[in-house]
Structure 1
């Protein structure tokens, strides 16, 4: 028995490593897509020979088209992901995203560029929505916020990657070359996912496919439930006709938290996309040259990567609600500080903290959301927050473009974004405690969904 337990632990670690690696790499290219456009906005504004004459309002619209696609992709993945499985959605959309990036690099008009940004965004949205659901079902209890942060740190890491490549290669390969780099997942990530990415045993169980779930669980070492004795009762609940997907989100149990979690994501993504699209241009208006402006973008995303991972450890220990609210608060303060004439070293620190409070906070939100929901509604819950949140992402670039087109100083933009961060902090404080926490009266770790509370399984008609 001891040997069997040890063998299962080895299998579980191996499976988890592959899931984390593949989903994180997929999200690296989400982050790459997020920022690569921001690095070329100045070029498109100043060189009409690229895709035509682009003004600031059009530039904001082009930045938002991708996010409209992301919203469509995320909501579509939520509608089908809880029915067709995590693995299929991941594979299809790695291909979709890669082809979209390649096609964007070939465009020669504003209309074609915008259309391809929208279509590429559909693949991005589906990947973002599915990754959180997948990791939540493979990561061990008590470490789920950390593993979600590890995976979703792929987003700021990809943003950092795009910033650095733009800094080093933009003069050599141009903006088209930068977009072609974004198509590379088709060459290496898709084959890796085909060979190494497993379906979730918990998802199979949630669909009533008990035999397949048990066989896969033994094969990859990932438990369906923490207590195997719950398997039969959990399956019987599933087969009894419980609501899953978006229908489950509309239940009395999840409706209010779903609205509030969506508003959190709206705030986080409005900050993320607004700053990543317009920070270089705003800092140019502050008098910094192009190299310094891209350096600020690198600093913003480095702060998100490092700060997000550190904050995720705190979220596992103290619960994500208070940590997310605190990081939103840090964003509020840091964005106001950026408007002062600070020494460069202090300014870089403030921008790094803003990175933690914006994109780093969004990483924490994805972890919070993924672990808040149970298996039967998890993909829909993550998709809702990713999709509705992208409305904020759409408004972020539009807002920045409108402010700049109106001749407003960069100071006004930073104050507006600080107000959004403050709103996010307040909304977070009103999110109800996790249902498993209430059911088990504190038996679960703060902010971590429980898979071993028998009463929660029976009383809530879920399998988690």
Structure 2
């Protein structure tokens, strides 16, 4: 029997090739988001110990300093949400990659705490644009039936970047210092932007949603991306009449948007809190500074492997239950990390915690990207990312407060575990997208020939 998606795709091979290029470009960009996230935690012990680098600062200031990039991401995401559904995916992605690359390079020359924090904020602006655009873009190019998997590939770039930062920190920190590690973060400007310029197309679905019919059909022909689903969504009335943030807070999406934002809040609080403070927490358990760098490596490796594996389950059975389950897994793993287990078992629990924290956030991005219709997608993802950044900002600050108060690592793990449990509850409460399910069912009927007359034949492509 012909698979439904194969029947609606004008050229499945061309569509798959386009999706693979888009996934590669976005994933590589997000690798450097993850790199930026973890590299600060990697170099933080050295900056605290050596005031000659950017000046003297304490652990509370370190938590605040770690949050400046996240504040920039928050602002960048909100700006992207305001304009992304009007200006398209391609231009914003190119701008965001170039912006954060330059920001990371210039940060390497900071000589004061103030300058370092300001440049981290500037870098975050570009990262926010990339993060908010990434999910919307991939959702519109990924083949139907594989969208969670493609989103997992894309957003696995974040923990993969964490792995890269951990490895380079272990291998190169003593040789090139923290400044050299930040310069590495500028590589996308010279390596990725030229590829993206030629290989990242504008979304045919976005063009159609904006009423640019001829351009949408031409883009569909070039990329192999079918437009039938977008046409059915418009015909069924699935999408709200408004665009951007106005659509996100329409009657259809308002309550889900709040809950989806809270999911990201919990996921990113865990992600940024653990990546910033895990090396320092493990030092408190008696592990040396160099040795403790292996713990973020285990955390991020677990997230990459777990996110990709679980995305296949999410495509088959829906992402909601999978995400709720991985949040619970995070709670259990974080509690177990407080016990004095043998080192191999401890690394196992840290890897499972990675699945339940960073891996969960990978699945959350995919869930959010596909929950919204095209005319609200960039704004919806940006809204969720922005609410999430408040959690990301709070995560390092909580770690800083606990460290300054001399409170042990067990308390930090319990707090983060409780946040994961809240995330599971919020996930369960997100209502189903019944209108979108109705549109998907109608697409299947059209493919099977039962309602083919409902859409003119020339528009089935």
Normalising by structure 1, we get a TM-score of 0.92
Q: Say whether 1:313 aligns with 2:312.
A: yes
Q: 1:343 corresponds to which residue?
A: 342
Alpha-carbon spacing, 1:422–1:6, altered in 2? closer, same or farther (3 Å)? closer
Q: Secondary structure at the match of 2:11?
A: helix
Alpha-carbon spacing, 1:309–1:13, altered in 2? closer, same or farther (3 Å)? same
Q: 1:104 corresponds to which residue?
A: 107
Q: 1:384 corresponds to which residue?
A: 383
Mapped partners of 1:431, 1:265: distance in 2: 13
Mapped partners of 1:219, 1:444: distance in 2: 22
Q: 1:138 corresponds to which residue?
A: 141
Q: 1:461 corresponds to which residue?
A: none
Q: Say whether 1:17 aligns with 2:20.
A: yes
Are 1:97 and 1:121, in contact at CA under 8 Å, matched by a contact in 2?
yes
Q: Say whether 1:287 aligns with 2:281.
A: no
Q: Secondary structure at the match of 1:322?
A: helix
Please list every run of 5 or more consecutive structure 2 residues that lacks an aligned counterpart in the other structure: 1-6, 456-461
Q: 2:422 corresponds to which residue?
A: 423
Mapped partners of 2:434, 2:258: distance in 1: 15
Q: Which of the residues 197, 200, 204 maps onto 1:201?
A: 204
Alpha-carbon spacing, 1:193–1:393, altered in 2? closer, same or farther (3 Å)? same
Q: Which of the residues 32, 55, 59 maps onto 1:56?
A: 59
Q: Secondary structure at the match of 1:256?
A: helix
Q: Say whether 1:297 aligns with 2:300.
A: no
- Cα shift readout 1:111-142 (whole Å, capped 9, x = no counterpart): 00000000100111110110100000001111
- Cα shift readout 1:127-180 (whole Å, capped 9, x = no counterpart): 011010000000111110010001000000001100000000000100000000
The within-5 A match list for 1:58-73 is 58-73=61-76
- Cα shift readout 1:57-110 (whole Å, capped 9, x = no counterpart): 110011000000001111111111100000000011111000000110000000
Mapped partners of 1:64, 1:16: distance in 2: 33
Q: 1:407 corresponds to which residue?
A: 406
Q: How many residues align?
A: 445
Q: 1:270 corresponds to which residue?
A: 269
Are 1:284 and 1:290, in contact at CA under 8 Å, matched by a contact in 2?
yes
Are 1:266 and 1:389, in contact at CA under 8 Å, matched by a contact in 2?
yes
Q: 2:458 corresponds to which residue?
A: none
Alpha-carbon spacing, 1:313–1:237, altered in 2? closer, same or farther (3 Å)? closer
Mapped partners of 2:9, 2:257: distance in 1: 39
Alpha-carbon spacing, 1:426–1:6, altered in 2? closer, same or farther (3 Å)? closer
Are 1:71 and 1:386, in contact at CA under 8 Å, matched by a contact in 2?
yes
Q: Say whether 1:261 aligns with 2:264.
A: no
Are 2:229 and 2:443, in contact at CA under 8 Å, matched by a contact in 1?
no
Deviation at 1:441, TM superposition (A): 9.7
Q: 2:156 corresponds to which residue?
A: 153
Please list every run of 5 or more consecutive structure 1 residues that lacks an aligned counterpart in the other structure: 459-464
- Cα shift readout 1:249-295 (whole Å, capped 9, x = no counterpart): 11111000000000000000000000000000000011001232111
Alpha-carbon spacing, 1:441–1:102, altered in 2? closer, same or farther (3 Å)? closer
| Greater CA drift, 212-221 or 173-182 | 212-221
Are 2:236 and 2:439, in contact at CA under 8 Å, matched by a contact in 1?
no
Q: Which of the residues 31, 35, 39 maps onto 1:36?
A: 39
- Cα shift readout 1:323-342 (whole Å, capped 9, x = no counterpart): 00000000000000000001
Mapped partners of 1:311, 1:371: distance in 2: 16
Deviation at 1:242, TM superposition (A): 1.8
Q: 1:173 corresponds to which residue?
A: 176
Normalising by structure 2, we get a TM-score of 0.92
Deviation at 1:439, TM superposition (A): 3.4
Alpha-carbon spacing, 1:316–1:284, altered in 2? closer, same or farther (3 Å)? same
Deviation at 1:318, TM superposition (A): 1.4
The within-5 A match list for 1:439-458 is 439=438
Are 2:327 and 2:421, in contact at CA under 8 Å, matched by a contact in 1?
yes
Mapped partners of 1:453, 1:146: distance in 2: 29
Alpha-carbon spacing, 1:237–1:257, altered in 2? closer, same or farther (3 Å)? closer
